[in-house]
Structure formats: structure tokens, C-alpha cells
């Protein structure tokens, strides 16, 4: 079906200048030249696209001949990145032969290949070019398979995407079972789009999620990490989490967390996690930065806390117990979602500082305030207090403590009730004679 310019809302003023440049240049070189995927979907809905993807019938080498600023990427399926300063326009050749798809057809998109984590060797037929229609059929959902043609400004629809877009429906192209088996990440994508767009998942597309969720265990952890960031840093984390739970997919992302949710009796984590996700969404809505370490610290806190409790119950010191618990939980989690060091390190700091917040005597409180992870750890404490898992008085104290001028801080510390059972070290050291047994 072809929707002429008058029948759809996509205007060139909504398309980035660089994307337009690429589209015109390909067209003028005699090639097919279209926008496709998320950007067309978002433009049709009146949303601002995140980025612009271009498709053409030009082969990668021909694309490179047209653009001096193009770099070919991807081993399995080569495509071109056209660089304009910080903006990159992705240009791909129409892909065909959906039946010969590898399990991980879009690994090139998300860095999995670049990070060397894709397990299977490149197949000889990896670069299978096709017609535009074949290209449409190998995409995931109908609403993601619309094309905007720069030659006549029409939208081209091979799979009923425009109708589904109007109806607010997510529908898999082809047989959903088969398509999820081809690439299990599509199970996460359908949930992500449902949350982001507020769309319904059509019944046959939703049905296999419950029974095929386990296939996510086969996805390389590096690719899972990328997908999880997209799931929870897209501005709809709270809704996404609810959908993942209701389709029984969450347990394949964070198994230990899922178990801790089932086993806990007091309900804290059930509240803490949604609260953490709501605050992530709120920050993104205000244009504030979000930190993946905070997100992962929130996801894994409950299993870490439960394991720590077991270890202290066996007589281990609190700090050692936390370190052991963190090691264990992170180790198990890595089998599902790789957590890079640049995250696991600050995560541990956020957790360790939860213990340090309760020790406010002497110089420790002002020192903690200077810690570079103070802000994230304090936000985490507030979340714990709000969900009933930490003393609200403690969180309030730290809130006030940050606000008093530096020379007033020690007064706040001195005003605290002395910690029971701990001798004042300084004095007893100065008066050795007083230590004689009485
Ligand atoms: P976003 O707004 O999150 O970027 P998007 O739809 O653009 O959403 P991308 O991951 O950027 O998603 O992919 C671009 C397009 O590539 C999709 O719209 C879809 O047509 C196709 N695609 C991406 N991943 C897959 C997949 N796993 N299986 C089939 N098609 C896919
Ligand atoms: Mg995109």
C-alpha cells in the first residue's frame, strides 16, 4: 500500500538536515532512497525520532562511493555509517531471505559483534541482499516496517503497519513463534515498544512470550546489557517493568531479583524497585542524566541484602558480608547480563555506603559527604526510606546534613545521641591509669 504525501503527516521539516542530505544524495545517484524503521514510526505518530535510518538498493561499496564520510561496519551484515560531526546516519542495503536469518540478525546494531561476544562464526551467506519487500518482511513489528520514500514523499507499507499504527497495536510480522525463536530479543523489544508507545500487544504476538521467555537465556550477555539499558533508560521504565513481570520475562533478566521478590515477606523490594524506576523516569522527563550503576544497584540490592543477612547470621561482620554477597550476586548476574566494571564498581560503592550512612559519629559523616558517590548513594537511601526499608529519620538527617553550612556540620554530629556501648576512645587512651580493673 502506498500512502501519498497528502495522506500522512511526515514533513521534511521534521527530518534532520543530515538525514535529508543522505537521502537526496542517494536518490540523485540513481538509487532507491528511503527512511525506515523507528524514525518513520515516530514521525507518523508525531513524535521526535531518536535517530534516522536510511535504506537503499545500493550495495555497501556503492554507498561508500557516494559518501566520502561513510564507514562500513559490521561483519555479518555490512552497512554504512555516514558521519556528520556527532550525528551518524545509518545506511543499510535492503536485506533479503528471511528464512536464512541467523539467530542474532541485528547484532551489528547493538555492538555485540564489535565487543566480540557473538558466539557463532559468521556464515558465508551473511550478506544476503534483497528487494524492498523482502527487507520489510524481515523486520520485527508491522509498525517498524514503514518506509518514507524521498523520491515522491510517500509512505510505503507492505505489512499493514499504518493500520496497526492507527489502532495502537503491536503485531509481529510473520509467525510470532518462529520470529521469537529466530531472535529472542524481539520478546524484549515488543515489551519496550508497548510501554513506550502505550500500544496493545496483539494476542498472537503476546501468546508465545510466556512459553518462549527461556530463550532469552541464550542471548549473549553483552547484547542483553544493551537491551536492558534500552528497556529501563527509555523514559518508561516503570511501565516496562510491569509488563515484563506480567509476561513472565523479568525472571530471565534478573533471576536472583525475581526470586527475592517471591521469597520476601515484608514487601519492601516490591516497593523499592518500582520507586527506583519511577524516579529514573522522572529524571529523564526533566532532562536530567541517569546513571546505569544506580539502576543496576536497585535491581540487585534485594538479593545482595538477603545474602548479606544470611552471612551476618552466620557470624560474619557486616562489611565483609556485604562484599561477599555482592561478589556472589554479581557473579551469577553476569551469566545473564554482562555488568561492566565501570558499573559494578560504583554499584558496590552505593551498597557499601548504605552501611556507612548509619555510622554518623565523629568525622565519618563529613567525610562521607565528600565521597564522589555520595549523591547516588544518598538518593538510594531516600528510596529505601520511602519504601520502608530504612529509617526515615536517618534519611532526613542526611538531607539536613547536606544543607547546613560546613562549619555547622560538626554541631549536627555532636547533637546525635551517643552510640550505646562504644567507649569514647580518645579519652580512655589519654588516661591509661583509669583502665585499671575496679
Ligand atoms: P528506537 O526508537 O528504540 O530506536 P527502532 O524501531 O528504531 O526503535 P532500532 O533498534 O533502532 O529500533 O532498529 C531499527 C529498525 O530495525 C526497527 O524499526 C526494525 O525495523 C529493525 N529491527 C531492529 N531490531 C530488529 C530485530 N531484532 N528483528 C527484526 N527487525 C529488527
Ligand atoms: Mg532506531
pLDDT tens per residue, range 163-218: 999 999 999 999 999 999 999 999 999 999 999 999 999 999 999 999 999 999 99
User: Of residues 51, 248, 327, 379, which has the active-site annotation?
Assistant: 51
Instruction: Please tell me whether residue 31 adopts helix, strand or coil conformation.
Output: coil
Same domain as 198, residue 331: no
> What pLDDT is recorded for position 341?
92
Same domain as 28, residue 147: yes
| Ion ligand 2, residues whose Cβ is below 5 A away | 38
Q: Distance from the CA of 385 to the center of ligand 2, in angstroms? A: 38
Same domain as 356, residue 326: yes
> What pLDDT is recorded for position 78?
86
Q: Distance from the CA of 323 to the center of ligand 2, in angstroms? A: 39
Is the pLDDT higher at 389 or at 374? 374
Secondary-structure percent of the chain, ordered helix, strand, coil, rounded to 5:
55, 10, 35
Same domain as 279, residue 135: no
Q: Give per-residue pLDDT as tens, 57-78.
A: 999 999 999 998 999 998 777 8
Same domain as 262, residue 191: no
Same domain as 362, residue 342: yes
Q: At residue 101, does pLDDT exceed 80?
A: no
Ligand 1, atom 12, lies closest to the CA of: 38
What's the domain count of the chain?
3
Q: Would the pTM count as exceeding 0.95?
A: no
Same domain as 283, residue 201: no
Ligand 1, atom 1, lies closest to the CA of: 38
Q: Distance from the CA of 90 to the center of ligand 2, in angstroms? A: 10
Is the pLDDT higher at 368 or at 120? 368
Same domain as 212, residue 305: no
The CATH number given to whatever domain includes residue 57 is 3.30.460.10
Give the domain extent around 239: 231-412
Same domain as 245, residue 207: no
The answer to whether 280 touches 234, Cβ cutoff 8 Å, is: no
Q: Give per-residue pLDDT as tens, 303-337.
A: 999 999 999 999 999 999 999 999 999 999 999 99
Same domain as 237, residue 346: yes
Ligand 1, atom 23, lies closest to the CA of: 106
H or E stretch covering 60:
helix 60-66
User: Of residues 57, 106, 140, 258, which has the active-site annotation?
Assistant: 140
Q: Give per-residue pLDDT as tens, 137-147.
A: 999 999 999 99
> What pLDDT is recorded for position 114?
39
Query: Which of 144, 172, 237 most suits a substitution to test ligand 1, by most atoms within 8 Å of the C-beta?
Result: 144
Mean of all residue pLDDT scores within the chain: 88
* 62 assigned to some structural domain: yes
Looking from the CA of residue 234, the nearest atom of ligand 1 is 3
Q: Is 53 a catalytic residue?
A: yes
- Across 83-94, average pLDDT: 94
* 91 assigned to some structural domain: yes
Same domain as 240, residue 196: no
| Residues recorded for the chain | 438
Q: Is 157 a catalytic residue?
A: no
Cα torsion angle, 222, 226, 227, 231, sign: positive
Q: Distance from the CA of 3 to the center of ligand 1, in angstroms? A: 22
Q: Distance from the CA of 102 to the center of ligand 2, in angstroms? A: 20
Ligand 1, atom 11, lies closest to the CA of: 38
Same domain as 290, residue 207: no
> What pLDDT is recorded for position 145?
98
As for ligand 1, residues whose beta carbon falls within 6 Å of it are 37-38, 50, 53, 105-106, 109, 139-140, 144-145, 183, 185-186
- Which grid coordinates are listed for 380? 538510594
Q: At residue 420, does pLDDT exceed 80?
A: no
Please state whether 198 falls in left (phi above 0), alpha (psi between -120 and 50) or beta: left
Looking from the CA of residue 230, the nearest atom of ligand 1 is 3
Ligand 1, atom 3, lies closest to the CA of: 38
pLDDT tier at 436 (50, 70, 90 boundaries)?
very low
Q: At residue 107, does pLDDT exceed 60?
A: no
Cβ neighbors of 307 (< 8 A, separation 6 or more) are 321, 324, 325, 328, 329
* 100 assigned to some structural domain: no
Amino acid at each position: 500500500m502506498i500512502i501519498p504525501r497528502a495522506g500522512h503527516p511526515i514533513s521534511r521539516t521534521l527530518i534532520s538536515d543530515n538525514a535529508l542530505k543522505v537521502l537526496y544524495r542517494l536518490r540523485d545517484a540513481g538509487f532507491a532512497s528511503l527512511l525506515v524503521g523507528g524514525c518513520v514510526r515516530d514521525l507518523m505518530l508525531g513524535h521526535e525520532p531518536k535517530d534516522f535510518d536510511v535504506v537503499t538498493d545500493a550495495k555497501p561499496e556503492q554507498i561508500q562511493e557516494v559518501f566520502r564520510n561513510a564507514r562500513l561496519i559490521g561483519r555479518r551484515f555490512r552497512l554504512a555509517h555516514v558521519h556528520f560531526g556527532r550525528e551518524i546516519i545509518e545506511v543499510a542495503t535492503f536485506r533479503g531471505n528471511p528464512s536464512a536469518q541467523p539467530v542474532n540478525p541485528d547484532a551489528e546494531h547493538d555492538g555485540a559483534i564489535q565487543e566480540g561476544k557473538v558466539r557463532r562464526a559468521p556464515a558465508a551467506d551473511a550478506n544476503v541482499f534483497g528487494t524492498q519487500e523482502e527487507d520489510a518482511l524481515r523486520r520485527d513489528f508491522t509498525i517498524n516496517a514503514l518506509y518514507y520514500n524521498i523520491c515522491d514523499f510517500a509512505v510505503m507499507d507492505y505489512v499493514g503497519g499504518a493500520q496497526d499504527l492507527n489502532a495502537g497495536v503491536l503485531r509481529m510480522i510473520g509467525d510470532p513463534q518462529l520470529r521469537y525463536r529466530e531472535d529472542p530479543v524481539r520478546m524484549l523489544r515488543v515489551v519496550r515498544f508497548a510501554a513506550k508507545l502505550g500500544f496493545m500487544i496483539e494476542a498472537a504476538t503476546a501468546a508465545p512470550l510466556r512459553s518462549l521467555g527461556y530463550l532469552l537465556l541464550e542471548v549473549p550477555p553483552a547484547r542483553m546489557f544493551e537491551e536492558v539499558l534500552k528497556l529501563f533508560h527509555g523514559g518508561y521504565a516503570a511501565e516496562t517493568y510491569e509488563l515484563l513481570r506480567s509476561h513472565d520475562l523479568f525472571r530471565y533478566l534478573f533471576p536472583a531479583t525475581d526470586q527475592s521478590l517471591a521469597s520476601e515477606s515484608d514487601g519492601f523490594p516490591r516497593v523499592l524497585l518500582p520507586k527506583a524506576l519511577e524516579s529514573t523516569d522522572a529524571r529523564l522527563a526533566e532532562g536530567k542524566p541517569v546513571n546505569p550503576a544506580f539502576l543496576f544497584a536497585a535491581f540487585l540490592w534485594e538479593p545482595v541484602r538477603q545474602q548479606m543477612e544470611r552471612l551476618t547470621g552466620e557470624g560474619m561482620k557486616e562489611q565483609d558480608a556485604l562484599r561477599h554477597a555482592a561478589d556472589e550476586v554479581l557473579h551469577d548476574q553476569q551469566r545473564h547480563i554482562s555488568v561492566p566494571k565501570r558499573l559494578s564498581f560504583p554499584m558496590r560503592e552505593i551498597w557499601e555506603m548504605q552501611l556507612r550512612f548509619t555510622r554518623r559519629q565523629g568525622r565519618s559523616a563529613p567525610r562521607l559527604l565528600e565521597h564522589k558517590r555520595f549523591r547516588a548513594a544518598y538518593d538510594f537511601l531516600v528510596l529505601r526510606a520511602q519504601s520502608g526499608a530504612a529509617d526515615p529519620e536517618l534519611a532526613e538527617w542526611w538531607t539536613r546534613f547536606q544543607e547546613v553550612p560546613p562549619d555547622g556540620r560538626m554541631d549536627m554530629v555532636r547533637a546525635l545521641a551517643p552510640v550505646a556501648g562504644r567507649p569514647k576512645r580518645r579519652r580512655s587512651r589519654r588516661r591509661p591509669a583509669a583502665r585499671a580493673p575496679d
